[in-house]
Structure 1
Amino acid sequence: MKIGLISIISIVLLSACLQAQTAFDRHFVEKTMRVDFILAGNNVQQAAYLLELKQEPLWGGGQINLIDSLGYGEYRFTISDFVSMEPLYSRGFCTLFEEWRTTAEAQAVDKAFYQSITFPYPQNKVFFKLEERKKDGTYQALLSIAIDPEDPNISKEQLPQYDVVKVVDGGASANMIDFTFIAEGYKSEEMDKFVADVKRMAAYILSQEPYKTHRNKFNFWAVCSPSDDSGTDNPRGDEWRRTAVNSSFNTFYIDRYLETADVFSIRDIAACAPYDHICVLVNSEKYGGGGIYNHFSIGTADHPMAEQVMLHEIGHGFGGLADEYYTSDVAYQNFFDLKVEPWQPNITTMVNFNAKWKHLIEEGVPVPTPSDKKYEKTTGVFEGGGYVEKGVFRPAINCRMKTNEAKGFCAACQEAIVNMIEFLTD
């Protein structure tokens, strides 16, 4: 009887995997469709405008879980069959534009930001819908278009041809998570340094939990994209560099915030390799970085805390994790609505804490949890997080999403990263 039960379970699991794989094969091919668009507006309104459709030669994303079940992101897009309107693919994501909308500047001026999303190249005509998440958690449509994969105006221009080095080889991209690093502020003669820097970053990331336990599910790539100058822009120091993706410190007038709005260049360069998540490595000794969910993560190579910063930023960009600090200088104002449960898995307003890390809290731990030494190694509900001191709670006294001095990710953040890894690979 035991052998028969095991056989039945194996058949059911194999059948499920084959059905999921067949869904990809039935609707998509292993290339990438890229939608370039503009997000524009101010702190109270926004609009989206289509720029161009592009074909990229590789698809590095998963082929199993095509429909997003995590619900992360301030935006989401859905690809549906044009005839039946059956959803075929969906993902959530965030943008630099949405962050800017919470700044004081957005109250005074209108701005436009480039944005780009990708999905597997469809075999047949599909319907693309882009939506924004409103403050109350509901969604509102921003852009809806029909996409015919045979449209002759879909750009198939050859992308830049850069040397690509696979620094960690876990296996075929269809079954792996591909972290693809692109060079920023490295001149042609500095590419050996870039590859060495990526190897160092990869080694550090894979030494940290939960990546360490799941290291056999990752590939790391280095795309050697040269810049005319070394380094990056530092407006406060009146330092300006001609670089591959036009990165700069002092984003939103925060000195340490390193970002770029040149997302099209990032996509063009990253397309030289398969990618699930893009990391921009900047050839600089200055402290700083940034990470935006399903967008990209960026950090410097040579600051003494560079590895810790990059791990933190990948927590944002790959894992969808929120910042757990609340005392550092930021440009955001009223970033979270305290009447709504945030979608980020590692903070809560207690509106719907049951959906967060409640199951990780041991019996007898008070909720909220005092920030006492007694609880410094305990999973609890500690007030302060998401840039505000009151009304937002985090899972631990200290965590890599709070400070670079933390020994690693807290239990809630580790669980969230594992959930992401399993979603993309299982």
Structure 2
Amino acid sequence: MRFSSCLPATLLACCASALAAQPATVRVDYLHSGNAQGESYAMDRVVIEPLPWPGDMGRTLDDTDRGINKVEVVDAKTGRLLYSRGFSTIFGEWKTTAEASNLTRGFGESVRFPKPDVPVKVRILKRGTDNAFTLAWSVDVDTDAPDVIRKQPPAPAKPIPIRVNGPSAGKVDLLILGDGYTRGEQKKFEQTAKRLADYLFTVSPFKERAQDFNVWGLAVPTEESGVSRPSTGTHHASALNTRYDIFGSERYVLTTDNRALRDIAQHAPYEFIEILVNNDTYGGGGIYGQFSTAAANNDWANYLFVHEFGHHFAGLADEYYTSPVAYQSRGEGPKPEPWEPNVTALHDPAQLKWRAHVKTGTVLPTAWPKEEYETHSREYQKVRAQLRKDGRPESEMSRLFRDDLAWTNALFSRAPNARAVGAFEGANYEAKGYYRSQQQCLMFDRSEAFCAVCAEAVEQTIDLYSRPLPIKQAGGTNK
């Protein structure tokens, strides 16, 4: 752990001191509602959070072009763009489910930005199928208005410094939240958060960029251990209201209680959030720019932590396509080009978004043992579904996952183009019409490494949020 010359016992105080020169953090909470046919927005409240802005004021504009939505904060008088960030939402995912065709629902959402000195317009943009953004909602915000919330209750739990490398303004701040941990399990949470954070930084490119991160932990104690899993009749009250069975998928874990999430998270420096649920059952989830989740006690917790963080942190798409999901298929026609950096519809091979990684002579689309893989996967998914239906021990599911990964590794090791970057059909939940860049990646299966394209996307996000460490001087120390 590194933090200038500060001792561990005073890390939080030192970080707060370093942040003192930063502007305050503004949060706009709003309601996003609608269905598959349309959507609308309504203002809830404007909050000045307890901690100053954790980000680099030299990188207030987002140039990565990711997310279904984008927030822009502009000077209301001059129209000058002050801040922007891409993001996605739970509403955006729910809108693609069958339920959205006959039901209207509302979801709480928030955008955060450094406090401006002038009244602003907060604009929410929406990406179309042509990947261009258009205005979806705009609201005038005066952060000095009388109805802005400036005073809030004290923190419900104390933030824990897990890995601190410098003042927040120059680092990526990751907050690991715990849900479903009782008062007697707080030490368990701290140990688990540290273990999973340590694992994250063994995976490239996080490994090479570890000094660009701060990691904090925070868990509000609950009366019962674990979070809700409604499909098994398990219901627990927890601080973040995280649960399994989101959108009817037994392994999908999210919280739809945005206010609870933001009211707890605001007491630690953060730009990204991963929620650890105190459960054994395999599951997790990740929404770009919102948060990710992972079942902390599962045998595959390391993989879940990194895979779901890939969605949240870098906007990476799922590259698998044989597992059942809640989203409806886009049909047999031409697919729109995804905004995610690691999948493509390959409308024009000459303009492949990751063409810089493709060696001359590589054929696009690129051959791989697709039929053999799919035949095996169909049988594997039948066994997986039966294990869940029969309520078999989680150890049997873990064994099935290990056997499946071993089979896949063996198949790919002898396949043509085993390590090539190209365009391999099958990705983004679709067997046809979408392509991934390499045969294997931890966004495709439970392997342990990102493909080159995903790794590049992660690095681009790190660059957006971190400031390089000063060059070490001869005879001195780099604190």
Report the TM-score, using the length of structure 1 for normalisation.
0.91
Q: How does 1:240-255 map to 2 (within 5 A)?
A: 240-255=235-250
The superposition leaves residues 285-306 of structure 1 with CA deviations (integer Å, 9 ceiling, x where unpaired) of 1100000000001111110001
Residues 67 and 288 in structure 2, CA contact (< 8 A), matched pair in contact too: yes
Q: Which of 285, 289, 294 lines up with 1:290 in the alignment?
A: 285
Alignment of 1:127-142 (within 5 A): 127-142=121-136
- SS of the counterpart of 2:72? strand
What RMSD over aligned residues (CA atoms) do the two structures have, in Å?
A: 1.7
Equivalent pairs, count: 399
Partner of 2:65: 71
Tell whether the 8 Å contact from 1:160 to 1:269 is kept in structure 2 after alignment: no
Q: Distance in 2 between matches of 1:327 and 1:131?
A: 32
Q: 2:358 aligns with which of 356, 361, 375?
A: 361
Which residue of the partner structure matches residue 41 of structure 1? 34
**Are the counterparts in 2 of residues 165 and 222 from structure 1 also a CA contact under 8 Å?**
yes
Contact 2:129 2:337 in 1 (8 A): no
1:409 aligns with 450
Question: In structure 2, what is the equivalent of residue 120 of structure 1?
Answer: 114
Shift of 1:154: 0.7
1:10 maps to none
Residue 141 of structure 1, CA deviation:
2.2
* Equivalent pair of 1:37/1:49 in contact (CA under 8 Å): yes
State the distance in 1 between where 2:197 and 2:337 align: 34
Is the Cα contact below 8 Å between 1:349 and 1:393 reproduced in 2?
A: yes
**In 2 relative to 1, CA 160–96 (structure 1 residues): closer, same or farther, beyond 3 Å?**
farther
SS in 1 for 2:243: coil
Equivalent runs, 1:372-411 vs 2, <5 Å: 372=369, 373-404=415-446, 406-411=447-452
Q: In the alignment, is the contact (CA less than 8 A) between 1:159 and 1:271 conserved in 2?
A: no
Q: Structure 2: which amino acid aligns with 1:359?
A: A
Segment of structure 1 superposing worse, 231-240 or 142-151:
142-151
Is the deviation greater in 385-394 or in 157-166?
157-166
Q: 2:411: which partner in 1?
A: none
Aligned partner (choices 246, 266, 271) of residue 271 of structure 1: 266
Shift of 1:350: 1.4
1:148 to partner: Cα distance: 1.1
Residue aligning to 1:149: 143
Find the residue that maps to 1:113 and give its secondary structure: strand
The unaligned stretches of length 5 or more in structure 2 are 1-18, 370-414, 468-479
CA shift in 2, pair 1:355/1:395, >3 Å: closer
SS at match of 1:189: helix
- Give the AA of the match of 1:316: H
1:55 is aligned to 48
Cα 1:57/1:253, change in 2 over 3 Å: same
Matching residue of 1:6 = none
Conserved? CA contact 1:159–1:268, under 8 Å = no
Partners in 2 of 1:156 and 1:371 — Cα distance? 57
Describe how 1:174-323 pairs up with structure 2 within 5 A.
174-323=169-318
Equivalent residue for 1:9? none
Q: What amino acid is aligned across from residue 253 of structure 1 in structure 2?
A: G
What is the letter of the counterpart of residue 349 of structure 1? A
CA apart distance, 1:133: 1.4
Query: Matches of 1:99 and 1:40 in 2, distance apart?
Result: 12
Seq. identity, %: 35
1:23-50 residue CA offsets vs partner (Å, 9 max, x unmatched): xx9xx95321101111111111111111
1:338, CA displacement in angstroms? 4.2
When residues 357 and 87 of structure 1 are mapped into structure 2, their CA distance, relative to the original with a 3 A threshold, is same
For 2:145, the aligned partner's letter is D
- Corresponding position of 2:165: 170
Q: Whole-Å Cα distance in 2 between the matches of residues 82 and 41 of structure 1?
A: 28
- How far is 1:247 from its partner? 1.0
Output the CA distance in 1 between the equivalents of 2:223 and 2:70.
36
Q: TM-score normalised to the size of structure 2? A: 0.81
In 2: Cα distance, 1:420 partner to 1:92 partner: 11
Q: Return the alpha-carbon distance in structure 2 between the equivalents of residues 334 and 293 of structure 1.
A: 21
Q: Report deviation, 1:335.
A: 5.6
CA positional deviation for 1:321? 0.4
Q: Any runs of at least 4 consecutive aligned residues in structure 1 with deviations exceeding 4 A, and if so which?
A: 335-339
| Preserved CA contact (<8 Å) 2:181 2:221 | yes
